[in-house]
Amino acid sequence: MGLALLAALLVSILTVRSRAARQTVLARARQDAARSADRLLTRWWADPVTFPRGATGVMPDAPQFTWRTRVVDNRSARNLGASVVRLEVSDRDAPEILVAVEVLLPAKDLPE
């Protein structure tokens, strides 16, 4: 009986440790993706008119991540003469979005 209890305790400890390790890896990936997204947004923000509004690519400073931008329908932004663009960063090997940022930009088709 004691051996069975010890085995159950060991399995529980190993399961918890495995989950914690996976969470740690995911948290580090999200931190790295957020840093990379910040650098990319900083570069794009230099000229908001050329900000990509429907594109994909590989992060220049972190090739393990891919990025995608798309315009998000937002009536309030349209009324202001702007558009909302969502940047999503994912790991190349997993479809899960690690970081998503929405940016309010001047609409491309409006005169300055």
pLDDT over threshold 90, residue 86: yes
Any idea where the domains of the chain sit in the sequence? 2-106
CB of 86 closer than 8 Å to CB of 105 = no
Q: Which ranges of 46-86 does DSSP label H, i.e. alpha helix?
A: 75-79
Instruction: Determine the CATH number of domain 2-106.
Output: 3.30.1300.30
Which residue do the tokens 């009536």 mark? Answer: 75
* pLDDT band, very low/low/confident/very high, at 110 (cuts 50, 70, 90): very low
- Note the pLDDT tens digit of each residue in 24-66: 888 999 999 999 999 999 999 888 778 899 999 999 999 999 9
The whole-angstrom separation of Cα 23 and Cα 17 is 10
3-state class of 64 per DSSP? coil
Looking at residue 91, its pLDDT comes to 93
Give Rg (Cα) of the chain: 21
Type of residue numbered 57: G
Mean pLDDT (the chain) is: 89
